Amino acid sequence: TQLLEQSPQFLSIQEGENLTVYCNSSSVFSSLQWYRQEPGEGPVLLVTVVTGGEVKKLKRLTFQFGDARKDSSLHITAAQPGDTGLYLCAGEVKTSYDKVIFGPGTSLSVIP
């Protein structure tokens, strides 16, 4: 069973601070996605990382895929209240069929 772990589970910070969310697994993933979800809505895709060591930037968000493709991080610079939400990492598992499994999520609250 491939499992994804995320840390921290909950994070409350002041506007303007920086933060990093981690996603870890003992398994290797062919790709990994980061999503952001607001209450009562479906997750929205932020980024997909495929290559070990890959770094992608999306405005104030920086995503990194570990060299061994077992872990990833999401760094937010100068957090804003609009960044508040549930951040989920998801990994693609290739078995007899392809499926995407999710980590437990990091609930981020940015206080004005």
When binding is defined by CB under 8 A, the residue of 28, 44, 58, 68 that contacts another protein is 44
In whole angstroms, what is the distance from residue 41 CA to residue 107 CA? 14
Q: What is the largest CA-CA distance in the chain?
A: 47
Q: Examine residue 102 and tell whether it contacts another protein (CB under 8 A).
A: yes
| Among 28, 58, 100, 111, contact with another protein (rule: CB under 8 A) | 100
**Is residue 84 close enough to count as binding another protein by CB under 8 A?**
no
Nearest approach in angstroms of CB 91 to another protein is 10
Give the C-alpha separation, 56 to 84, whole Å.
20
Give phi and psi for 58, each to the nearest 5.
-135, 90
Does position 45 interact with another protein (CB under 8 A)? The reply is yes
**Which is nearer to another protein, 66 or 105 (by Cβ)?**
105
42 counts as binding another protein under rule CB under 8 A: yes
Distance CA 102, CA 34 (A): 9
Out of 24, 48, 64, 84, name the contact with another protein by CB under 8 A. 48
Residues that bind another protein (CB under 8 A): 30-31, 33, 35, 40-45, 48, 50, 88, 92, 97-105, 107
